[in-house]
Structures are given as C-alpha cells and as structure tokens.
Copies of this chain bind each other. A is one copy, B any other.
C-alpha cells in the first residue's frame, strides 16, 4: 500500500491507509492503546487493540501502520486511525530528550550532543523551517533582480583579506587557506561581465567561537554589483530585500514564529543612517563613553540601539562612513580618512557589512601598501584590475 502523509488524511475518511512515522506519544489502557504518530507533516491519533501490539513500541520508535480513518473527536484532528496492523521499522533506546514535551527541557549541551533528537522538537526545527523560507526567498528576490548565483572556491591560495584569522590546510605540497569570504571571487565575477552576482555558501573564520558574535563556519549571503554609483545603492537594495523577507517570513512562517514566540520587526519607511563619527559623538555625549578608541564594542552597539529605538522607532540602523583603518584594503576611501562603507546593526548587533570597492588598479595597490600588505600575496586578484 502507498504511504499517505498525515496532512492528507482529512481527505481519506472511511478509507484504509498506510502511514509511516515516529511514535510521538503512547498511552496504554486496559484493552486498547492510543498512539500518536508524527511524520514531517503533522500528528495523528491512532487506536489499537492491545493484542495487536508488538513489544518494542515506545516513543520515538519508527513504525508503519495500516488502518481505517474514522471520524473522531480528539485534540489533534477530527479523525483518527483504527489500526489493523502495526510494523516496526526501527526501534529506539530511551531518549535523553523528551521530544513530545510542549517545552524543550534540556541543557544546551544535551540539545547539541543529541542534535538529531532535539531537531525533532518544534522549538528547534522551526528555526530551520524559517531558515529555509529565508534562503528560498533571498534567492527569489535576487533572481528577480537579475542577480546570478555563483559558486566560488573555499580552498584558496591567497591569504587573508588583511583581517580575521584563517584556517590553514595542506593542499598537497602547498599551503592553502579556507576562504573567509567570497570577496575576491565575487568581484572578479562582476568584472567577468556577470555584473550582479550572489552566493549563499560556507565561510570560515579561525576566531574564538565561544561568544555569540563569532562562528568558525557559517553560511554567508554575499552580493556584489557592478556599476553602482556608491554605497547608497547597496543600502537601498538591502533595504528592499529586508522588507521583502520580513513580509514573506511573516506570512509563510507564521506557524513557526508562533512556536518560537518571536515577533518580527517592521521597517517603516527608510532605515535610518548615521555616520560613524556621529555615532561616536552620541555615545560620548549621551552615554558618557569616552573610552571608545575609534571602534564600537558590543556595549556601544547596544547603547546606540537604545538611542536609535528611542529617536527613530527603528530596530535597524545603517552606520556609514567607517574610518579607513577599520575597513579592508579594497574599500573605496571617502574624504581624508573615511570610507564608502557601512554596517547594518539590528537590535545592536552587526548583521551586514558592505561598501563600495576600489576598482582602480593603482588605488588598490597603494591601499594595500598603506596597510602593510604584500601585493605579491594578491597577484591574481590584482591582475584582474589591470
């Protein structure tokens, strides 16, 4: 018999069906047992006479059930399954996580060490469902805006961009690195004539990773656009993308947001923008932060968030015109010591870094030298600008 998904059962009342899934809950009475089955589409209550039971049944075992769908009043659905046969597909040891608890009650260690089990809990898998909506809709938005998806190498021969630490590996006889971003490649793909490209892929940083602000391996969404006027074109498209995403996640992800008890922010009108020096000034005058030495620390980001919330009723803030020494060598300078660059802060946490890139060979070369970088380490990147 062909397997039917639980979400399809409301069309099958009065029919014999086969369902497959995990035992979510089990309650044995004197002559019958109630079994709730879970598949990827939902939950359904099943009833079985005890003489049909098999010994290994417990929560999280995997079963195949044949039975009749009958109308019923139960908490889950207006129907239930009268089991005719039950077959064990895989047994389960006692689980260190109670998947069927409304709230996931386990320590972070237990949750991470038993990832396959914790992912079965709605409060964890909802995060991945929302991630899935996000990546699908990011791609849809970018495809509609004529971006082309690219796949760039992660084993790279040229070293760091002059910032974070990189992972090293032995590539046969040579030393190679794990790419900390697709920066060089996406610029070259713009120069190769594709003009608007994006990549959603792994990025690597060999940084300490026991904070919520650092990850050694993460999925990075990267865009690159040719022929922009300046960094304001980039902030504009990011704002459009974010508005689109918030709308889509709110509608497609409603169920998961509710499980997670998360309320998404709104972006009303434009995201406020503030120059970096202005941010420092506000931190100094409003929060007495005289200790900041030309950079924002996590505390400062929280403080500017509070100010921004108060002044602009916004959870988002573009901080623009970062000082040169805080930005990578490929960042287009602006004035004496500034750059055509920005960060997007969301509730006081940096969620994007962006900026216009230097496209002129001589300017790029002198920017490298000014930072003490050896142009010999960036030959293929530099060649592209010739």
Contacts and interface: CB of A to CB of B under 8 A. Distances in A.
A125 B169 contact: no
Contacts of A151: 131, 202, 219
A347 interface: no
A204 interface: yes
Interface in A341-385: 359-360, 383-385
Contacts of A116: 188, 191-192, 384
A194 B155 contact: no
A217 interface: yes
B170 A168 contact: yes
B169 A92 contact: no
Interface residues of A, number: 62
A108 interface: no
Contact of A40 (B139, B150, B194, B201): B194
Nearest to A208: B172
Nearest to A93: B386
A216 B254 CA distance: 42
A136 interface: yes
Interface in A130-147: 131-132, 135-136, 139, 143, 146
A162 B169 CA distance: 21
Contacts of A139: 136, 139
Contacts of A117: 192
A183 interface: no
B154 A135 contact: no
Contacts of A206: 172
A90 interface: yes
A359 B90 contact: yes
Contacts of A217: 153-155
A238 to B, nearest CB: 19
Given A39-B195, A135-B149, A139-B139, 11 more contacts: A38-B193, A40-B196, A117-B192, A119-B193, A128-B194, A151-B202, A154-B202, A167-B170, A169-B170, A172-B206, A201-B201
Interface of A: 3, 20, 22, 38-40, 89-90, 92-93, 114-117, 119-120, 125, 128-129, 131-132, 135-136, 139, 143, 146, 148-151, 153-155, 167-172, 178, 188-189, 191-196, 201-202, 204, 206, 216-217, 219, 227, 359-360, 383-386
18 contacts: A39-B195, A40-B196, A90-B359, A114-B383, A115-B192, A120-B192, A120-B193, A125-B192, A125-B193, A128-B148, A132-B148, A154-B217, A155-B167, A167-B171, A168-B169, A169-B170, A201-B201, A202-B202
